[in-house]
Structure 1
Amino acid sequence: MVKEITEQLIESTTVRQAYVNCMSIKSSKDLYSTLLELLGYNGDLSEALAMEELQNIFVTKKKDSP
């Protein structure tokens, strides 16, 4: 069911997808790096910088929020 829905979104230019093999992930840094690389970003970052980069990509702040 998830695959069917994501296949419909492939045609969209604003939606990106990444498949992560959970068996290949040994740490949170591995997950962050893998996600960045699959989404076309530099994955060769420290864990803290990789997490910050993912936050910049996925989390948007409202103008009025601190």
Structure 2
Amino acid sequence: MATEDPIDFASAAISKAADIASSLGVKLKRPVCARLGAELFLVADYLDTAGLDQENRLRLRISKLLREVK
């Protein structure tokens, strides 16, 4: 993970969580799970389309979050 861009890592992880939440929403018929999946998808999409002016700030915040999670 040291060489992977934090934005790419966060986007992939959030997208995976969105897929899981959406699948659970359908399988368990739980609208809250489906909504969580949709919200997480929007976050991943935001990360993928962030402008250059936002990328440095996002990298710093994501890197800090990952350090704290370890």
Q: TM-score, normalised by structure 1?
A: 0.30
Tell me: higher relative CO, structure 1 or 2? Use CA pairs within 8 A at least 6 residues apart: 2
* Bigger share in helix: 2
